[in-house]
Structure 1
Amino acid sequence: MSNLENTECVKSHKKAIYSGTFDPITNGHLDIIRRAANIFDEVIIAVAKSELKKPMFSHYEREEFVIAATKDIPGVKVVGFDTLLVDLATQLGVNTIIRGLRAVSDFEFELQMGYANSSINNKIETLYLMPTLENAFVSSTIVREIIRFDGKFEHLVPKEVVKCMSL
């Protein structure tokens, strides 16, 4: 058996973690999750408690929204957390963090976070993914603002989330 054949027999299980407040999860988030699921065997969606951000939806509701929106994507798991992301990643045996970039303004913040995470655990890698052009403008902040003013937001979030909100 050649070395190549030998390595093909031993397939490693690649995991990544994608965190956020997901207040609420948007089509842009879902776009990034689908892309990550095509790259990794397992993608853990980590829903941050983030009480300092004063989310519109409870931690439980946000977890339920993410579970509903991702139920049909193979290899996706959802967890809630209230720790440093790097600590959660280490605890779960994950060394790749997925981050989404919509615009140059996102890049500065995400680059700083990536460096900070790496300074805490240098085994952590950050992979930046861009959403499709149609989702590049979508953010939870925009969706919350539209919801606050009773505007039409349904086209910006997964249909499963709209159903959850209606209950």
Structure 2
Amino acid sequence: MKIALFPGSFDPVTKAHVDIVERSIGLFDKIYIGIGANSTKQGFLSVGKREEMLRAVFAHEPKIHIAAYEGLTIDFCRSINAAYMIRGIRTVSDFEYEKAIAQMNHALAPEIESIFIVSKPGYSSISSTIVREILKYNGDVSQFIPKAALSFL
């Protein structure tokens, strides 16, 4: 069974995240969307609210499983028997950052392969950080967020 982890903060989930997951479904038997709890960041949404939001967005897809975790992502991969880690790439700077992380992860866990999926052009400018900034000033984020996630904001 091919099991993959798509890790991130998903604070909040965006249409760009959904696109990466939907394009990954045919590649794997099971995909965990892992909500990484970052102790150095104050989240916009609680981890519990992010879990609820992701479950609502992917309720129709039986291959998708939602789980929160703390600690090293590769340790979480091992705990769920994931041999693959999915990473979305929007820009050249994303690639440089993700490549460095993938190389470090490979040094720590050579049995876990990083898979990069390039964002569709229409989604390359969407990031949770920018969406949070728009929300902070009561802007309309409906074009960037999946419909099923809007009620959680």
Give TM-score scaled by structure 1 length.
0.89
Encode CA deviations 1:75-107: one digit per residue, 9 max, x unaligned. 000000012110010111111000000000101
Percent identity reads: 31
List gaps (5 residues or longer) in structure 1: 1-12
Q: CA deviation at 1:65?
A: 1.2
SS in 2 for 1:51: coil
How far off is 1:151 after superposition? 0.6
Higher Rg of the two aligned structures: 1
Say yes or no: does 1:161 pair with 2:139. no
Shift of 1:163: 2.0
Separation in 1, partners of 2:136, 2:151:
18
Residue 54 of structure 1 pairs with residue 42 of structure 2: yes
Which letter does structure 2 place at the counterpart of 1:83?
Answer: G
Aligned AA (1:66): L
Q: 1:119 is matched with which residue?
A: 107
Matching of residue 147 in structure 1 with residue 146 in structure 2: no
How many Å separate the matches in 2 of 1:33 and 1:26? 11
Provide TM-score, normalisation by structure 2. 0.96
Kindly indicate whether residue 108 of structure 2 is the aligned counterpart of residue 97 of structure 1: no
Kindly tell me the number of residue pairs found equivalent between the two proteins. Answer: 153
In terms of fraction of residues, the more helix-rich structure is: 1
The equivalent residue for 2:12 is: 24
Q: Cα RMSD over matched residues?
A: 0.9
4+ residue segments displaced more than 6 Å: none
CA distance in 2, matches of 1:148, 1:25: 16
Worse-matched range after superposition: 145-154 or 45-54: 45-54
Conserved in 1, the CA contact under 8 Å of 2:2 and 2:83? no
Question: What amino acid is the match of 2:3?
Answer: K
Unaligned ranges ≥5, structure 2? none
Give the letter aligned to residue 147 of structure 2: K
